[in-house]
Amino acid sequence: MLKLREAAKSFYKKGLGNGRNTSFWLDHWSDKGVFAEILGERGVINLGIKRNATVEEALLHTRRRRRHRTSILNEIEDEISSISLNPAEDDLSMWRRSSGYKLVFSTQETWELLRERKTTCDWACVWEYVAKGLPGSSYTKHWSEILSVITDKKREKKSLFCIRYAFQTVLYAIWKERNKVTHGDKMMPLQVLKRVTEKGIRNRLSLLSVKKIKGKEDLLQFWFATRQ
């Protein structure tokens, strides 16, 4: 909810008329954003403009332009010097739309702009990268056919173990990445995810080889052979 609230701030903006009903520090009227958030409390001292000043008061207040060491302060000074207010027009409330800020609010467009476009996590791409060489001619991306392969007890034991473990690891990796999205985090890039998943399998097979578990001593060599 907090992330959504922060994102929503950029959807409301004040269009300047006479500047009387727009806070210089607290309202979003400049293309740079809200000055209080950009400059903090120190900005009031740096610019010499009162915290409770409206845009009209800030512009009409007699003050000498200052030269600053910080570029953003000089840019704001330039903006102050370039603004022309219209005493006959009121300030306007404007809402962000797909084509820019407009006077009319659109629920549909606001939702579309707020909603993050999630990158899909293609499990089939990860599965292909990890397991294409394992089943040989029986390799497939189709779920029902994969289940047939991993339950085929007639398959050679090393092959069956590696296929099952690869399947389990890929499913967990995809679940983990999609869970990140649910909690508002970014997914791992697909190419990185493929390499990390394959490396995890190699590390597990290597550990089994080191422990010299009967029937699993040469699983890592078998794995490398399928990667060629």
Q: Domain segments of the chain: what residues?
A: 2-114, 123-227
Q: Is the pLDDT of residue 112 over 90?
A: no
Q: What is the pLDDT of residues 182-199, one digit of tens each?
A: 676 778 888 899 999 999
Q: What does the DSSP 8-state code read for residue 176? A: H
Half-sphere exposure of residue 111: CA atoms within 13 angstroms, side-chain side:
3
What's the pLDDT score for residue 118? 47
Q: What is the pLDDT of residues 10-57, one digit of tens each?
A: 788 999 999 999 999 999 999 888 999 889 888 899 998 999 999 999
Starting at the edge strand that comes first in sequence, how are the strands of the sheet with 100-102 ordered? 12-15, 92-97, 100-102
Residues facing residue 54 across a β-bridge: 23
Give the total residue count for the chain.
Answer: 228
Q: What does the DSSP 8-state code read for residue 23? A: B
Rounded distance between C-alpha atoms, residue 103 and residue 90, angstroms = 13
- Look at the block and give the residue holding tokens 């300047």: 16
pTM of the model: 0.48
What's the pLDDT score for residue 114? 62
What's the pLDDT score for residue 89? 94
Helix axes 143-150, 157-182, angle to 10 degrees: 140
What's the pLDDT score for residue 1? 45
Residue-averaged pLDDT of the chain: 84
What's the pLDDT score for residue 29? 93
Mapped onto helix, strand or coil, the DSSP state of residue 92 is strand
As a whole number of Å, the CA-based R_g of the chain is 30
Confidence band of 96 (pLDDT split at 50, 70, 90) = confident
Rounded distance between C-alpha atoms, residue 105 and residue 43, angstroms = 32
